[in-house]
Amino acid sequence: MQAKYNRILLKISGEALSGGKGHGYDTEALSQVTGQIAEVAKLGVGVAVVVGGGNFWRGRQGDEMERATADYMGMLATVINALALSDALEKHGVEARVMTALSISGIGETFNYKNAKRYLSEGKVVVFGGGTGNPYFTTDTGASLRAVEIGADALLLAKNIDGIYDSDPKVNPNAKKFDKLTYDEYVKLGLKALDTSAVVMCKENGLKIHAFGLDGESSIINAVTGDTAGTIVY
């Protein structure tokens, strides 16, 4: 197999690790995702990962909680998932490093873009936890920020559907899928697959976005080798 990217940042949801249960981990789902990441790394591709925390925490639970408090709790959930991914990757024979936006002694290394780039050049997978380290920013924005900082060729957006549509295909059977979109078209249409702030950051730095469905045994591998369509935002 021939990879079409030299370095990628893969954004996956926390729910992807729950195997459809919506909460916690599913051993098979975790192994399936990390097995693919390991295979991509073995192709010589520099792989960094940003994972959400939705399998543990999905934001403020009622109006009584401040948004900042809820966001920090979500950041901690992403660190839990980063540790799980790192551990599973090591079991697949690939060295991994956890880097966190929040300083958490003994858990992961505090993010430093130079160290992250060095690890990637050494063939290690780098898993980023803690989002941007600030409330009011989503993991989408964190993913685009980290992708730019490490010099990724593309931001790979693994979704529960096979690309970007003009509306939710699970609700609207006539939803139209886009094969390609410019950044400006995405923003103008008000699409929701990725936060607008993340798309604008990608535009300003010329970072391609590739959205695809995380629904097969080789979906991540296929996205890296070009064997899947999905949607390209450029």
Given a cut of 80, whether residue 225 has pLDDT beyond it is yes
Structural domains counted in the chain: 1
- Domain range for 23: 7-233
Please tell me which residue, 215 or 99, carries the higher pLDDT value. 99
Contact 196, 188 (CB under 8 A): no
Contact 61, 70 (CB under 8 A): yes
226 confidence band (pLDDT: 50, 70, 90): confident
144 confidence band (pLDDT: 50, 70, 90): very high
Closest CA to 59 of 48, 46, 73, 45: 73
Given a cut of 80, whether residue 62 has pLDDT beyond it is no
The lowest-confidence range among 11-25, 54-68, 132-146, 163-177 is 54-68
Give residue for tokens 């929701």. 192
CA distance 42 to 16: 22
User: What's the pLDDT at 1?
Assistant: 80
Residue 128 lies in a domain: yes
CA distance 99 to 51: 12
Residue 1 lies in a domain: no
Residue 2 lies in a domain: no
Given a cut of 80, whether residue 228 has pLDDT beyond it is no
For residue 117, report the phi and psi dihedrals to the nearest 5 degrees: -65, -35
Give strand ranges (E) for 104-213: 109-110, 125-129, 154-159, 164-165, 177-178, 180-181, 208-213
User: What's the pLDDT at 60?
Assistant: 65
CA distance 213 to 227: 12
User: What's the pLDDT at 61?
Assistant: 62
CA distance 85 to 104: 17
Q: What is the mean pLDDT of the chain?
A: 94
The lowest-confidence range among 17-31, 90-104, 172-186, 188-202 is 17-31
Residues 167-187 pLDDT 10s: 999 899 999 999 999 999 999
Give residue for tokens 């590739």. 210
How confident is the model over 62-66, as a mean pLDDT?
77
Query: Contacts for 200-204 with beta carbons within 8 Å, 24 or more apart?
Result: 201/141, 201/144, 201/145, 201/148, 202/144, 202/147, 202/148, 202/155, 202/233
CATH number of the domain encompassing residue 117: 3.40.1160.10
User: What's the pLDDT at 30?
Assistant: 96
User: What's the pLDDT at 227?
Assistant: 72
